[in-house]
Structure 1
């Protein structure tokens, strides 16, 4: 099926587009490590595999590590002089001559919507997962949501009632596991097969702290059920206080792997886990490789084994810690996990289920087809809402002003530093 989609897209002259994808990495807001960067990368690579033109423009003062050493064209418009910043963005994107401009966050959308207006091309905004926004969300004629949770919210948002809301779940490219790195990490952590490994791959911060705690509770329950187990958390520290709290987890063996050698392209190491507790993109990557995969559930002590009867409920929130399963029987779900761990036929059946549903639901080429439908439905910029542009600008200032202030203080310290003379 995927091969047919690629063939049709490559050989149909009516489906030719040239998309400028725009995303921000601003040090006052993040480090450029997260699923949204890889999701955009997968979409752009999928578009190029389908014979389309696609280029990523990164705006801000940090270049995301996921975009280093790529064959895909990526252009970094670095924030230096505030007065020259928008002209630089405008000239770079205009030089690419896109037919569509597609932003992946509110900050980059402010700039991309202005450039799109100048070029009179459609401007699209993706909400790349996460909870529903509680404050400002920009107006856009076309909004892409990764989850039903977000899509339903946007459909009921008064300012977006005339907009088209597109539910196009997160997509992933197939990828290989790295046996060499996995072997090295197994040796470093003394993983010898005597204990079952529960793996959690995530940024270590407030957003995912509860999912790590649920994974730790799962290890406790497995140990109590006479299945010796340990927890490995693989990721980068996003919040030092959150990391400190998680380090105080007791009664189980827990290892935090923070070395960039292993955290860069960490998805290559999901084979380390006998069980993977996944969220969002990480869940999908584990499912694609047929792992025994669980997802966190809001208000529960342990994550849920993903089964045919609860998959749709968990996917509604993009397999996030906000996941909810009506009338969820936590004890019955854990018992099903024990049966899978103790019965080879049940384990094989579960692995086949998650692998098949990942291929059917998370294929990047199906995402490309859906995005092309979106792009080809529009050929001009449409209406501009001046007040909303002004509000969007205020949001942008909130993130860029701290960088300007920090640089100002840095310059003051350098100029005021005492000099020595011979």
Structure 2
């Protein structure tokens, strides 16, 4: 069986960076290691950096300034015909549109993943087999009559144990004068994660004020300059912000820089599998929370998103909260209990090896593409048309500047 993984990275829509690219890479590598023929195809004008370091074959079908959308559709279709897959597994609704068109000729099976994020407010394509990472998304699609014929599979986001890069970790410690206890946040510096950065700064300031010495480190590509400027303007003396590409590329290999990790989405599992104490962000809170047996099920509902809400949580005073955190961080027995718990859950629920059989079953049993969804394909095309039209407009403006 041959599986083609399809994903988009278009500069008018995103940066080619983010957890879903890493999720696709880890899934493709694991499927390849389980004996299937695998190829990743990246669409758009950006080559996602994470695909530069993988054992799986990758094709980058670049959208060039001279391309019309019709020309590009033909270019993508020709490449997919050349691959001749049994299954095309798309990781966003734009790449799924290209899969649908190419499949008119090759007639293979189609699978679509919605890799986290909030429930769709407007259009999301219909398909035969849809994989979602969160209980939030699963409940949404199962409750909508529009998707009553869709096989919705809930397979939480998965990770595998990271091999850490000791050389780059030593470099960062020397360059940024980092010593002692470290709380690490790895994320794109953008509006979506702004609240998590603010919570991290509040936490490190509070812990140091209460006598627990530690340093906060943010490692991330600057996507929204104004967010970076706001973080720097807070002038936190306990904070280091690392933005060089040498460190933001494959940044998960730097998790061993820290003692404690502030994670969202797949970062939670990656840190847990490295036996770190893991904090996560919750909505409308001054501080992040430690993930433990009391809150993990509720946090998992939203795939450990910054949108998560703990309904029965009573907000303690800052002093009470910080004291409770320090009690854990200062007590090796309590600290080990927390780490041991999240590690065991990560192995059970979030290790990629635990769902290989499920993916294999989906690929074997999913259905070929339905052809009676013409209106849905038209709506899907409008999403793609908007993104690529904005890209063409942007490129033309740059050429005239």
Contact map agreement 2:25 2:54 (CA 8 A) in 1 = no
TM-score, scaled relative to structure 2: 0.94
User: Cα deviation per residue 1:18-42 (whole Å; 9 max; x = unaligned)?
Assistant: 1111000101111211111110000
Determine the structure 2 residue equivalent to 1:420.
none
Unaligned runs of 5+ in 1: 1-16, 414-422
Determine the structure 2 residue equivalent to 1:356.
344
Correspondence for 1:389 among 367, 377, 386: 377
CA distance in 2, matches of 1:244, 1:134: 31
Say if 1:226 and 1:69 are closer, same or farther in 2 by CA, change over 3 A: closer
Q: CA deviation at 1:128?
A: 0.8
Determine the structure 2 residue equivalent to 1:224.
209
Contact map agreement 2:129 2:150 (CA 8 A) in 1 = yes
Say if 1:250 and 1:102 are closer, same or farther in 2 by CA, change over 3 A: same
**1:163 has 2:142 as partner:** no
Unaligned runs of 5+ in 2: none
Say if 1:141 and 1:244 are closer, same or farther in 2 by CA, change over 3 A: same
CA distance in 2, matches of 1:406, 1:327: 47
Q: Which runs of 4+ in 1 moved over 6 A?
A: none
Q: CA deviation at 1:251?
A: 5.0
Contact map agreement 2:51 2:58 (CA 8 A) in 1 = yes
Determine the structure 2 residue equivalent to 1:400.
388
Q: CA deviation at 1:384?
A: 3.4
Contact map agreement 1:110 1:389 (CA 8 A) in 2 = yes
CA distance in 1, matches of 2:108, 2:376: 18
User: Cα deviation per residue 1:185-239 (whole Å; 9 max; x = unaligned)?
Assistant: 111121232xx32211100000000011111111122123210233211100111
Determine the structure 2 residue equivalent to 1:86.
73
Contact map agreement 1:304 1:334 (CA 8 A) in 2 = no
**1:110 has 2:97 as partner:** yes
User: Cα deviation per residue 1:244-283 (whole Å; 9 max; x = unaligned)?
Assistant: 1122224542221001111111111112222211010111
Determine the structure 1 residue equivalent to 2:162.
175
CA distance in 2, matches of 1:389, 1:301: 44
Contact map agreement 2:29 2:54 (CA 8 A) in 1 = no
Corresponding pairs, count: 395
Contact map agreement 2:26 2:159 (CA 8 A) in 1 = yes
CA distance in 2, matches of 1:103, 1:37: 11
Q: CA deviation at 1:389?
A: 0.5
Larger radius of gyration: 1
SS at the partner of 1:184?
Answer: helix
What value does the CA root-mean-square deviation take over the aligned residues? 1.7
Contact map agreement 1:147 1:317 (CA 8 A) in 2 = yes
CA distance in 2, matches of 1:323, 1:378: 32
Contact map agreement 2:128 2:367 (CA 8 A) in 1 = no
TM-score, scaled relative to structure 1: 0.90
Contact map agreement 1:100 1:116 (CA 8 A) in 2 = no
Contact map agreement 1:42 1:173 (CA 8 A) in 2 = yes
Q: CA deviation at 1:92?
A: 1.0
